[in-house]
């Protein structure tokens, strides 16, 4: 059994298009095959910057609401965002179930390992992987952090110098577009799969807030996901269609990614 958890949160992003993530999450949740769909009643207003994070108060409350929604779900969960910060509660829940055996496959154009000190905008969706490792603001960090060997980043092509320094210091495995599939070498379950749609080539899939050139073609990503065994949870994030409208090709990409994750 598979449940879709729709978390239409936008406040983790600093993009002028961030509010489009609300409609994007709801539309994407309709496309992913599932036995049940649960929508988290996240706060929709902006918030105050604190601890170096914009909308910190709203993000903490949205995380609490997401945790609350997860308590009532016994099925495998595919989380649909919203910005990348929606992953923290379901990954925390996965760690509770699987502990140190869990691997998080983070498929993203960006490594998301900024800190509040290195990201002036305070956009928390650029800090999520670092928070998963226990290095993040109170209330937005895992109670039981992942170890670096539990995270694999692939498809990354836009990290800055401070992020790459952090990756080197922690020993996080990082692959780009050319060696995307190397992320699966030796990968064994249980696996949680995070997909930020900006990993895709923007001329093929453009409905994101932070498109990056020279990305992954959609069919290649679908094929990659289809070869991941023992997916125990997943997320599709950062879908930002203009005016809430999803073109048929992009809708089909989301549907096929969802089907590959839910198989």
pLDDT at 146 over 80: yes
Question: What are the tokens at 237?
Answer: 């994030």
Instruction: Please state the pTM of the whole predicted model.
Output: 0.97
User: How high does pLDDT run on average in the chain?
Assistant: 96
pLDDT at 102 over 70: yes
> What pLDDT does 74 receive?
87
> What pLDDT does 246 receive?
83
Q: What is the pLDDT of residues 6-52, one digit of tens each?
A: 999 999 999 999 999 999 999 999 999 999 999 999 999 999 999 99
Q: What is the pLDDT of residues 178-236, one digit of tens each?
A: 999 999 999 988 999 999 999 999 999 999 999 999 999 999 999 999 999 999 999 99
Distances (CA, A) of 212 to 83, 116, 197: 16, 23, 10
> What pLDDT does 33 receive?
92
Q: Work out the pLDDT band at 72, boundaries 50, 70, 90.
A: confident
* C-beta separation of 45 from 80 below 8 A: no
> What pLDDT does 151 receive?
98
Within a 10 A sphere around the Cβ of 244, how many other Cβ atoms? 12
| DSSP line for 86-131 | GGHHHHHHHHHHHGGG-EEEEE-SS-----TTT-TT--GGGSHHHH
> What pLDDT does 244 receive?
67
Element holding 233 (H helix, E strand) = strand 231-237
Distances (CA, A) of 134 to 171, 192, 195, 208, 226: 15, 18, 21, 27, 30
For the sheet containing 76-81, what is the strand order? 36-39, 2-7, 76-81, 231-237, 191-196, 103-107, 151-154, 173-174
Q: Work out the pLDDT band at 117, boundaries 50, 70, 90.
A: very high
pLDDT, mean of residues 84-97: 97
């Amino acid at each position: 059994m598979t449940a879709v958890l729709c978390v239409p949160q936008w406040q983790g992003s600093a993009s002028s298009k961030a509010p489009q993530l609300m409609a994007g999450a709801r539309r994407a949740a309709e496309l992913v095959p599932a036995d049940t769909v649960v929508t988290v009643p996240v706060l929709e207003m902006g918030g105050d910057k604190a601890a170096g994070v914009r909308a910190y108060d709203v993000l903490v409350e949205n995380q609490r609401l997401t945790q609350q929604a997860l308590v009532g779900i016994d099925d495998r969960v595919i989380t649909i965002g919203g910005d990348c910060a929606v992953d923290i509660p379901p990954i925390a829940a996965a760690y509770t179930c699987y502990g140190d055996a869990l691997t998080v496959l983070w498929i993203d154009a960006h490594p998301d390992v900024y800190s509040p000190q290195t990201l002036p905008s305070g956009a928390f969706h650029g800090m999520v992987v670092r928070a998963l490792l226990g290095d993040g603001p109170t209330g937005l960090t895992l109670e039981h952090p992942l170890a670096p060997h539990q995270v694999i980043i692939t498809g990354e092509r836009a990290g800055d110098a401070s992020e790459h320094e952090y990756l080197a210091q922690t020993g996080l495995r990082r692959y780009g577009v050319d060696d995307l599939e190397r992320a699966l070498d030796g990968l064994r379950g249980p696996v949680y799969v995070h997909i930020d749609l900006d990993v895709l080539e923007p001329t093929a899939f453009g409905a994101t807030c932070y498109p990056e050139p020279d990305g992954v073609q959609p069919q290649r990503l679908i094929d990659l996901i289809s070869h991941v065994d023992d997916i125990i949870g997943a997320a599709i994030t950062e879908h930002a269609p203009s005016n809430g409208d999803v073109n048929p090709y992009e809708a089909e990409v989301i549907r096929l990614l969802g089907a590959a994750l839910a198989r």
